[in-house]
């Protein structure tokens, strides 16, 4: 009886600890993304570039195939530096699914630039690096209800 | 001198072992995806449903926001059962980035149905479950060079 109670208590404490850990990862990842996004919205491309891993892979609706590697992303983002002015931005229902050293963040996003509304799907995959910092290894932006061009 | 040689040898063996492990995960994940895709192409929706985790989250260009959970996906796929006939399908440059128990697979895909060519971006996130089987926890399909509808 005592053994069963102790085992139950142990399982409960483990579950609570795991849930706290997962919730902590979730908060950290969402905060990283929001910070990079806020910088992007006012034309600062380094918010994202600073948290991209060297081996990042990337999709958005403007490119014709997957883009691989931080160097390519740096070149690709360069022309946008200082030229973005998002006037409204709402991250909708962010969700993080994580293991110890990898996590996937998904959300919808509504943004407004030059009075045009953009509705986005977004998937970011984060990996915990050797220095214990989370970096993005995969980004996928797509328009909601898009059609082929 | 001997110590340095032994250390170098140890590092080399560890690197080779890690690289083999990562390559094994990569092969396993790509094989799982190809098998599900081949079944999908001939109208068998269970190829994917069988490897979706209960907590899967999902984006494609037809839905108006992220879809959460296996039950929703089962409902969503049901009308397509037996009604898909992809006549050509090419997975382009699949790449897997993995840690022990989570992996992200990205690729482009060219498919043809009713003589219409579809060009896709795809991101799948796999997680190794308690039974050591890999399951998909996140799917993101989008059209290449898409425009808002």
B63-66 LR contacts (CB < 8 Å, sep 24+) = B63/A144, B63/A145, B64/A144, B64/A145, B65/A92, B65/A93, B65/A108, B65/A144, B66/A93, B66/A95, B66/A106, B66/A107, B66/A108, B66/A121
Min Cα–Cα distance to chain A from B61, Å: 5
B131 touches chain A (CB under 8 A): no
Q: What is the mean pLDDT of residues A141-147?
A: 97
Min Cα–Cα distance to chain B from A39, Å: 24
Q: What number is the ipTM of this complex?
A: 0.89
Q: Is the per-residue pLDDT at A60 higher than 60?
A: yes
Please list every residue in chain B whose beta carbon sits closer than 8 Å to the beta carbon of residue A148. 118-119, 143-146
**Using CA atoms, how far apart are residues A129 and A120, in angstroms rounded to an integer?**
28
**Using CA atoms, how far apart are residues B147 and A144, in angstroms rounded to an integer?**
9
Would you say A111 and A38 are in contact if contact means Cβ atoms under 8 Å apart? no
Min Cα–Cα distance to chain A from B14, Å: 16
Helix (H) or strand (E) holding B128: strand B116-128
pLDDT of residue A11: 60
Please list every residue in chain A whose beta carbon sits closer than 8 Å to the beta carbon of residue B96. none
The β-bridge partners of A52 are A136
pLDDT of residue B22: 80
Phi, psi of A56 (to 5 degrees): -60, 140
Contact B143/A93, CB-based, under 8 Å? Answer: no
pLDDT of residue B128: 98
pLDDT of residue B149: 83
Q: Are strands A116-128 and A102-113 parallel, antiparallel or unpaired?
A: antiparallel
Contact A66/B121, CB-based, under 8 Å? Answer: yes
Whole-number average pLDDT of chain A: 92
pLDDT of residue A94: 98
Would you say B124 and B136 are in contact if contact means Cβ atoms under 8 Å apart? yes
Q: pLDDT digit of tens for each residue in chain B (149 aa)?
A: 677 777 666 666 655 555 667 899 999 999 999 999 999 999 999 999 999 999 999 999 999 999 999 999 999 999 999 999 999 999 999 999 999 999 999 999 999 999 999 999 999 999 999 999 999 999 999 999 999 98
A149 pLDDT band (50/70/90 cuts)? confident
pLDDT of residue B92: 98
Query: Which residue carries 């590697």 as its tokens?
Result: A69
Would you say B40 and B3 are in contact if contact means Cβ atoms under 8 Å apart? no
Please list every residue in chain A whose beta carbon sits closer than 8 Å to the beta carbon of residue B99. 99, 101-102, 127
Contact A95/B125, CB-based, under 8 Å? Answer: no
- pTM metric for this prediction: 0.90
pLDDT of residue A68: 98
Min Cα–Cα distance to chain A from B112, Å: 13
pLDDT of residue A21: 72
Q: Is the per-residue pLDDT at A20 higher than 80?
A: no
């Amino acid at each position: 009886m005592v053994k069963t109670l102790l085992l139950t208590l142990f399982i409960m404490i483990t579950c609570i600890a795991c849930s706290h850990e997962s919730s902590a990862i979730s908060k950290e990842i969402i905060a990283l993304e929001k910070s990079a996004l806020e910088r992007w919205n006012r034309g600062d491309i380094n918010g994202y570039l600073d948290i991209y891993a060297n081996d990042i892979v990337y999709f958005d609706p403007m490119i014709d195939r997957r883009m691989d590697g931080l160097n390519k992303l740096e070149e690709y983002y360069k022309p946008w530096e200082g030229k973005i002015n998002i006037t409204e931005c709402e991250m909708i229902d962010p969700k993080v699914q994580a293991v110890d050293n990898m996590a996937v963040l998904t959300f919808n996003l509504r943004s407004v630039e030059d009075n045009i509304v953009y509705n986005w799907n977004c998937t970011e995959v984060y990996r915990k690096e050797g220095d214990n910092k989370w970096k993005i290894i995969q980004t996928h932006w797509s328009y909601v209800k898009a059609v082929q061009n």
